[in-house]
Amino acid sequence: TISIAMSFFAQILPQFQSVQIEGDLVQTSFLDAVEAFIPLFDKMGTVFKPVKSDIGGNVEKLKKSNAASPNPWLQNLVKAEIDGGKTKQKNSATESLLWLKRGLEFNFLLLRAVADTDEEVTAVARTAYDNSLSKHHGFIVKKTFGAAMLGAPKRAALIASLGPDEATVKNDIKAWLAVAEPQLKTIVKFYEDNKLEA
């Protein structure tokens, strides 16, 4: 087999490192960094296709919002909708960033557990879901998600798809999270401070 010289997370780290945070704002280049993150779901199997589609769709909606009214700061797209009373409109930047944030919270929790434990992906995905997305989903979606997680890849297969060895992959996930988590937490705090977590 061909060994992967650089892990997936080492490859995408520079894009997240280029994203600036200023106060309660994250640069819109965060969307480009998230696009670099999306191929992770191809490595996680078909069960993660809906997650890939959801995150990718929200990134595209936010890019369209920014193209219509360019701003270097992601939360300013939402602030303009707050000022215009448009936060509840379908496909608003507010709604798109809300669901992007929620999807990323789930994935960051899952990846933190992959890096910090030796548990199988099915178990850490279920825990991550219970601590993030489940509170925003109805009964049927919760049951569907729970059943789908049974199709998550085995830990060894996931690690092998992400880098040369487990130690490298775990360390690179932690290094990536050290950069990406503060960006996500800034968005989470913005939603909490503006009471937009509906």
Maximal CA-CA distance, the chain: 56
Per-residue confidence (pLDDT) for residue 45, from 0 to 100: 83
Counting Cβ atoms within 10 Å, is residue 179 exposed (0-12), middle (13-18) or buried (19+)? middle
Q: State the Rg of the chain over Cα.
A: 17
Residues in the chain: 198
Q: What is the pLDDT along the chain (198 residues), one digit of tens a residue?
A: 444 478 999 999 999 999 999 988 899 999 999 999 999 999 988 878 888 999 999 999 999 999 998 999 999 999 999 999 988 888 899 999 998 999 899 899 999 999 999 999 888 888 877 777 667 655 666 666 665 666 678 899 999 999 999 999 999 999 999 999 999 999 999 999 999 876
> Can you give the three-state secondary structure of the chain, one letter per residue?
CCCCCCCHHHHHHHHHHCCCEECCEEECCHHHHHHHHCCHHHHCCHHHHHHHHHHHHHHHHHHHHHHHCCCCEHHHHHHHHHHCCCCCCCCCHHHHHHHHHHHHHHHHHHHHHHHHCCCCHHHHHHHHHHCCHHHHCCHHHHHHHHHHHHHCCCHHHHHHHHCCCHHHHHHHHHHHHHHHHHHHHHHHHHHHHCCCCC
CA atoms within 13 A on the CB side of 179: 19
Specify the amino acid at residue 53. Answer: S
56 burial type by CB count under 10 A (0-12 exposed, 13-18 middle, 19+ buried): middle
Read off the pTM. 0.88
Strand 25-26 with 21-22, pairing: antiparallel
* Residue pair 12/36 in contact by the 8 Å Cβ criterion: yes
> What pLDDT is recorded for position 148?
64
